[in-house]
Amino acid sequence: MKDLFIKRFTYYKSLGDKSFAQLSDEQIFWQYNDESNSIAVIVKHIAGNMLSRWTNFLTEDGEKPWRNRDDEFINTFKSKQEVIEYWETGWKCLFEGLNQITDENLYHTVYLRGEPHSVMDAVCRQLAHYPYHIGQIVYIAKMIKDHDWKTLSIERNKSQEFNNEMKDKFSADDSAFNSSPVCFQNSPEVRDEYK
């Protein structure tokens, strides 16, 4: 199960990484209006959440007393490089936390703001939260880049071509269609528990 979690989170991280690669320093800080968050601010929130949730996540409440969530929505970064470094710090903490998961502690109780969750539920909660914000990052990046955007998934008007390629690739093993090729980055692996 831990490997599946790591695989899913790695995929969503890659969407952010590929978005950042297409943007300049200035574009990372662009805001649609004063009430909107820039990509830099969204990264500050995601990474701040990760550091709080995944530091000692098996033994301490996921909402740490040192976290200042409101400050996560105020930009303090000076460069794209600072944004990416903080992004990487958050993901490092997350992956270190995920690596502590075992079959034995998967249903162990952990807490988020005092609310009990199984480890499985806590992971699923974050697996819903981070892609929500990463989707915002991708959407903002697409608006900024406009016609220069390089798609991160199946190209527009290329769905049938992509489907045919996938059928050819996996025709020897029909069970491969139990996993999403987009979410698994076209990986030939199939989740054993869904075969």
Q: Give the C-alpha separation, 142 to 74, whole Å.
A: 23
Domains of the chain: 1-148 (1.20.120.450)
What 3-state DSSP class applies to 24?
A: coil
Which pLDDT belongs to residue 175?
53
| pLDDT tens-place string over residues 162-183 | 888 888 888 865 554 455 545 5
| pLDDT tens-place string over residues 47-96 | 999 999 999 999 999 999 999 999 999 999 999 999 999 999 999 999 99
Tokens 């990372």 belong to 28
Entry pTM: 0.84
Q: Give the C-alpha separation, 85 to 69, whole Å.
A: 19
Cα separation values, 100 from 36, 39, 41, 160, Å = 36, 30, 29, 41
Residues of the chain with pLDDT > 90, as a percent, come to 76
| pLDDT tens-place string over residues 2-48 | 999 999 999 999 999 999 999 999 999 999 999 999 999 999 999 99
